């Protein structure tokens, strides 16, 4: 018996930790594939199957779908925040805002799962929601700068950006690989309608609380799909 050994030095514990980490990596990679292909309505069972692990193993690593979503899309949310920063650095406020919208819509088109993420909210995924809020605050600045420059219609609101994400996600999910570039035309049409001078008044924008409720309902719906018993 090695009296100088520490609890963590037991070699028998190392394979378990290594296996657990390998399983986690496999699950995240599989979820990225499944969510990117099928969107967030894909079941946890399909993720486990793609990863080659039992459903119980998946739930040990990620007890809820929200936790798995947060792990899979952490880097996408970082890129989302970075896109805001790049837009704010653009000396042309309108070009910055338009470029941001085009970039984010392209990110949605490239990944059906991320297209869904931007139309939902995940209250228990604190880190993901903090990054979303950071991007939102930057987007508010983008909108203000574009209005001050006289290029963005005055009745455009931050809630309209959420509607853009929702509309684009709908187009991306509806057209798929049948018309993969259709979103580009829709985004171009929307951008032209955003420019000043406005050609006419718009209906009132949704209240922030109403949009949050819609996003929350969407995330709850994607998490509510029935799963089989958790057996390996």
Q: What is the DSSP string of 217-229?
A: HHHHHHH-S----
Confirm if 123 and 129 have CB atoms less than 8 A apart: yes
**Residue 25 Cα to chain centre, angstroms:** 19
Backbone angles phi, psi at 114, to 5 degrees: -70, -30
Contact 216, 121 (CB under 8 A): yes
Q: Which residues of 109-142 are buried (b: 16+ CB within 10 A; e: fewer)?
A: bebbbbbbbbbbbbeebeebeebbebbeebbeeb
Assigned token pair, 179: 């018309």
Tens digit of each residue's pLDDT (9 = 90 or more) over 22-60: 899 999 999 999 998 888 889 999 999 999 999 999 999
Given a cut of 60, whether residue 1 has pLDDT beyond it is: no
* pLDDT value for 227: 52
pTM over 0.85: no
- Distance, in Å, from the CA atom of 98 to the CA atom of 56, rounded to the nearest integer, reads 45
Tokens of 94: 């309108």
Q: Rounded to the nearest 10 degrees, how much is the dihedral formed by the CA atoms of 176, 177, 178, 179? A: 80
Q: Which of 146, 144, 25, 129 is nearest to 80 (CA)?
A: 129
Q: Is the pLDDT of residue 114 over 60?
A: yes
Number of CB atoms found within 10 A of residue 224's CB: 10
pLDDT digits (tens, 9 = 90+) for 121-163: 888 889 999 999 999 999 999 999 999 999 999 999 999 999 9
pLDDT digits (tens, 9 = 90+) for 85-102: 999 999 999 999 999 999
């Amino acid at each position: 018996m090695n009296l100088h050994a520490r609890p963590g030095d037991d070699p028998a514990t190392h394979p378990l930790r290594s296996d657990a980490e390998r399983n986690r990596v496999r699950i995240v990679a599989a979820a990225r594939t499944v969510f990117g292909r099928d969107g967030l309505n894909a079941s946890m069972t399909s993720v486990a199957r793609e990863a080659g692990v039992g459903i119980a193993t998946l739930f040990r690593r990620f007890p809820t779908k929200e936790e798995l979503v947060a792990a899979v899309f952490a880097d996408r949310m970082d890129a989302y925040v970075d896109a805001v920063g790049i837009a704010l650095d653009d000396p042309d406020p309108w070009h910055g805002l338009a470029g941001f919208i085009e970039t984010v819509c392209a990110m949605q088109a490239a990944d059906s799962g991320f297209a869904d993420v931007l139309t939902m909210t995940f209250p228990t995924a604190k880190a993901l929601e903090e990054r979303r809020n950071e991007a939102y605050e930057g987007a508010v600045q983008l909108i203000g700068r574009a209005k001050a420059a006289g290029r963005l219609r005055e009745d455009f609101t931050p809630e309209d950006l959420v509607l853009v994400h929702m509309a684009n996600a709908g187009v991306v999910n509806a057209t798929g690989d049948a018309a993969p570039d259709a979103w580009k035309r829709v985004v171009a049409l929307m951008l032209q309608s955003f420019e000043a001078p406005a050609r006419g008044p718009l209906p009132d924008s949704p209240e922030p609380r109403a949009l949050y409720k819609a996003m929350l309902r969407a995330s709850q719906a994607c998490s509510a799909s029935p799963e089989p018993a958790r057996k390996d």
